[in-house]
Amino acid sequence: MNNFMNALYNAVGCEVSGFHDGVAFLGTITETRVKYGNDIRVTVVDGSSTYLIDGTEMLAGDIGLFKNLHVYFK
């Protein structure tokens, strides 16, 4: 988990794919920030849509409204 969070914190410009509420998306990470505790909040932009996704959700891949999440690190 620690290695994933370190990579995610430095992943601005990387792509993220998945489904949000049943709709497929492919976006780019535009911002990361540390949340209280051991988590990171990631801002993903896909055209006119902006998604705020927690690092723990990305690591799990299938939580809440987000399904089949994949991060494509450079």
Question: pTM to 2 decimals?
Answer: 0.92
Strand partners, 24: 19
Burial environment of residue 45 by CB neighbours within 10 A (0 to 12, 13 to 18, 19 or more): middle
Rounded CA gap, 6 and 2, in Å? 6
Interval 20-59: pLDDT, tens: 999 999 999 999 999 988 899 999 999 999 999 999 999 9
Is residue 13 within 8 A of residue 36, CB to CB? The reply is: no
Task: Scan for tokens 């990470």, then name that residue.
Answer: 29
Whether residue 16 has pLDDT greater than 90: yes
